[in-house]
Structure 1
Amino acid sequence: MVSQEIIFAGFGGQGILSMGKFLAYAGMEAGLNVSWLPSYGPEMRGGTANCGVIITDEAIGSPIVTRPTALVVMNRPSLDKFESVLQPGGLLILDSNLVTRSSERTDIDIISIPAQTSAEELGNKRAANMVLLGALAAKTGIIAEDLLLQSIQRHGKKDFFEVNQKALAKGAEYVPAHSAS
């Protein structure tokens, strides 16, 4: 059985919704059932933003993710809000440059990545979200890298494709070899 329920969360303008959208499109390309449900505050850029993505080979009864198997956070308020709903044994990926505290959970797998720094080293700080997405894809194995790249190429901004490709690879480097769950 293939099944992941993921919440991506952070501030508007960080590419939170884009991460979910690219993953959902890749899931469709893989022939899986997908759901992408965005949520953002009225402020948009700088306000809160999150989205829930479900990728499964089973029917999806509701697009609302209430007990995620994975959580990707790009700021502390998102960690504060969603940490407690992550399933035991779930995966937490966080941007250690922006999340100013460690997780209080001991029953989850945590990958802490300096995504802002990594993206800056690649030449574009706006690719920090793709670094985190690369780690998620590598750790869970839910979507093949080529399908994720295809999704980004088809549905993302063309002038960011090369840096996004590098950012995905950089994120995967933070995942120990052979650790796909």
Structure 2
Amino acid sequence: MTEEIIIAGFGGQGVLSMGKILAYSGVMQGQEVTWFPSYGPEMRGGTANVTVILSDNRISSPILHEFDTAIILNQQSLDKFEAEVKPGGTLLYDPNGIVHPPTRTDINIYKIEGTKIAADMGNVKTFNMVVLGAFLKAKPIVALESIRKGLEKSLPERHHKLIPMNLQAIEAGQQQMEEVHII
């Protein structure tokens, strides 16, 4: 199994953190992993994306030009990466700020109201974990126990008290993800 993923949105949405947690989770499962961030100098508010590859085999390069999955958190990223999802692949998006939703008919498309769900939970900072939960519902490539271990590895110890809240957000994302177009 090899899964090539792009996560893209604005800086400050937790794009890089989501990728890092996913990468650590793959390591916890004994997979080969790459985590390759890309962001503009403006950071918060600018565009950010990260590619993550999880594989049972050695990974030859972290640089990708097409993806099995795209997790999209803003219109600019949707415009840029929708066409780069492999036919038969998966696109997951948060509709907040998306003016023109995805239109492809040769990929699986899922929607998660991550912004709204995180706000309803009382902590908008869990937005990225809601989205991660939706992704894991669509593609359960890492176990929840590995995600918990990934959170422990990626969060400083002083923030470990936030792990239960993050796991609740992941569960909320799994429960509230919507199928838009399934091939």
When the two structures are superposed, what TM-score results if normalisation uses the length of structure 2? 0.91
Aligned to 2:172: 170
Aligned to 2:90: 91
Aligned counterparts of 2:121 and 2:150: Cα–Cα separation in 1: 21
The percent identity for this pair of structures is: 43
CA root-mean-square deviation? 1.3
Comparing 93-102 with 104-113, greater Cα deviation is found at 93-102
In structure 2, stretches of 5+ residues that fail to align are 179-183
Aligned to 1:102: 101
Aligned counterparts of 1:104 and 1:138: Cα–Cα separation in 2: 22
Q: Could you tell me whether the CA contact under 8 Å between 2:112 and 2:177 is conserved in 1?
A: no
In structure 1, stretches of 5+ residues that fail to align are 177-181
Which one-letter code corresponds to 2:114 in the other structure?
Answer: A
Q: SS in structure 2 opposite 1:131?
A: helix
Aligned counterparts of 1:162 and 1:29: Cα–Cα separation in 2: 18
Aligned counterparts of 1:116 and 1:175: Cα–Cα separation in 2: 12
Aligned counterparts of 1:93 and 1:54: Cα–Cα separation in 2: 17
Structure 1 residue 64 and structure 2 residue 63: aligned?
yes
What do the CA deviations read for 1:9-45 (whole angstroms, capped 9, x no partner)? Answer: 0000110000100000010110010000000001011
Aligned counterparts of 1:98 and 1:55: Cα–Cα separation in 2: 29
| C-alpha displacement of 1:122 | 1.1
* Larger strand percent: 2
| C-alpha displacement of 1:101 | 1.9
Structure 1 residue 161 and structure 2 residue 163: aligned?
yes
Structure 1 residue 30 and structure 2 residue 32: aligned?
no
Which one-letter code corresponds to 2:58 in the other structure?
Answer: A
Aligned counterparts of 1:159 and 1:94: Cα–Cα separation in 2: 28
